[in-house]
Amino acid sequence: MKLQVLCCCCCCCVAATGSQHFTASASPLLYEVLWQVTKMVDNPNGDGFPTVYDEWLNKTNGFYLGVARPQMHYLGDGSDFTTFFQRLGVTCSDFGYVSWHV
């Protein structure tokens, strides 16, 4: 018997209104993926932090399972991912830059 892994991805592009601080909400299955990917992305802010992860961690001071990690928000409802996440069980994430101060 051969095990096959199927992956479903839905991308929705929207205009970004913020430009100062990275923030993310996601299904718990995607937490580690977002943390690892943001470690590979150069920080565009020029505020002394080399990666998006470093700046995100410094601004939020979050913890996950007792380890210092950038704060990950829970997914809410009322957005494009609602049907995929709450009705179909597809893992989702919502991330971008915001203008408010953390």
Spatial contact of 83 and 10, defined as CB atoms under 8 Å apart: no
- Note whether residue 81 is domain-resident: yes
- Note whether residue 28 is domain-resident: yes
Which residues span the domain enclosing 34? 21-98
H-state helical runs in 31-86: 31-39, 52-60, 82
- Note whether residue 12 is domain-resident: no
10-53 pLDDT tens trace:
444 444 455 678 889 888 888 999 999 999 999 888 788 999 99
Task: Count the domains in the chain.
Answer: 1
The whole-number pLDDT of residue 90 equals: 75
- Note whether residue 27 is domain-resident: yes
43-83 pLDDT tens trace:
888 788 999 999 999 988 888 888 889 998 877 666 666 66
Rg (CA), the chain: 15
